[in-house]
């Protein structure tokens, strides 16, 4: 399999985790109300743990390796402020798609960075692809629930829309592979920008929704999400 085809297939599979998360959300009624709540909050926490592992193990370490401290900090903060501005805008126009926008805002820059990582022969490229898939599934779950709460979107339409959006990953990754693999500083900036945006999303959208009074399983979902990322990191770097 050629390297470019590997890039396309890897990012497509990572993107297809979004409609997979939506399909899981269709069948989230798993029993009693308390079990359903536990399941839903655990999925959100798992997504937060997977997102944190992507930041801590791949995006930030790779980003700071090729930038000086000041520009590295600027790019990370720029990502956070950009996601905050997007949040303001979505709130202003009162759209039911803030989770969807956050999901795409993560997926596209990460796919760019993934394509560039494959182009430079980075050993963490497959790990990053796996982490993107791990985070896309719970993000798809949350975005589906948000859109489904509006009468505008039917379940089948949402799943088809998410499946089509998965195609944005290969487009972004191919662009990164062809045009950014020779620009390590740009790749680093993209990774840190995505990291800042993801951090904002975790603490703005995911973390506040995870906590349940007198329930302790959801936080362990975050631990489980992170430990899967750590295991992948150790297996690919050993």
Pull the structure tokens for residue 170.
């290969």
> Which residues 6+ apart lie within 8 Å of 111 measured at CB?
11, 14, 15, 132, 168, 169, 170, 171, 172, 173, 176
**pLDDT tens figures, 69-88:** 899 899 989 988 888 888 78
Residue 155 burial by CB count (10 A; 0-12/13-18/19+): exposed, middle or buried? middle
**pLDDT tens figures, 1-54:** 588 899 999 999 999 999 998 898 887 555 555 556 666 667 777 777 777 888
The yes-or-no verdict on residue 221 having pLDDT over 60 is no
What pLDDT, on a 0 to 100 scale, did the predictor assign at position 166? 94
Question: What is the distance between the alpha carbons of residues 215 and 35, in angstroms, rounded to a whole number?
Answer: 10
């Amino acid at each position: 399999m050629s390297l470019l085809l590997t890039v396309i297939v890897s990012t497509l599979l990572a993107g297809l985790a979004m409609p997979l998360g939506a399909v899981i959300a269709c069948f989230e009624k798993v029993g009693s109300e308390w079990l359903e709540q536990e399941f839903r909050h655990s999925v959100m926490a798992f997504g937060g743990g997977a997102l944190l592992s992507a930041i801590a193990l791949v995006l930030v370490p790779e980003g700071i390796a090729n930038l000086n401290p000041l520009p590295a900090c600027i790019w990370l903060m720029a990502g956070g402020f950009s996601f905050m501005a997007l949040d303001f805008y979505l709130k202003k126009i009162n759209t039911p798609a803030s989770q969807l926008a956050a999901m795409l805002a993560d997926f596209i820059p990460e796919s760019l960075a993934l394509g560039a990582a494959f182009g430079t022969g980075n050993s963490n490229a497959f790990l990053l692809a796996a982490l993107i898939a791990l985070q896309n599934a719970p993000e798809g779950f949350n975005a589906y629930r948000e859109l489904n709460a509006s009468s505008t979107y039917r379940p089948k339409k949402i799943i088809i829309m998410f499946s089509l959006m998965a195609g944005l990953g290969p487009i972004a990754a191919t662009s990164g592979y062809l045009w950014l693999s020779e620009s390590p500083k740009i790749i680093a900036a993209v990774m840190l920008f995505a990291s800042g945006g993801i951090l904002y999303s975790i603490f703005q959208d995911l973390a506040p929704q995870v906590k349940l009074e007198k329930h302790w399983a959801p936080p362990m979902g975050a631990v489980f999400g992170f430990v899967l990322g750590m295991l992948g990191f150790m297996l690919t770097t050993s």
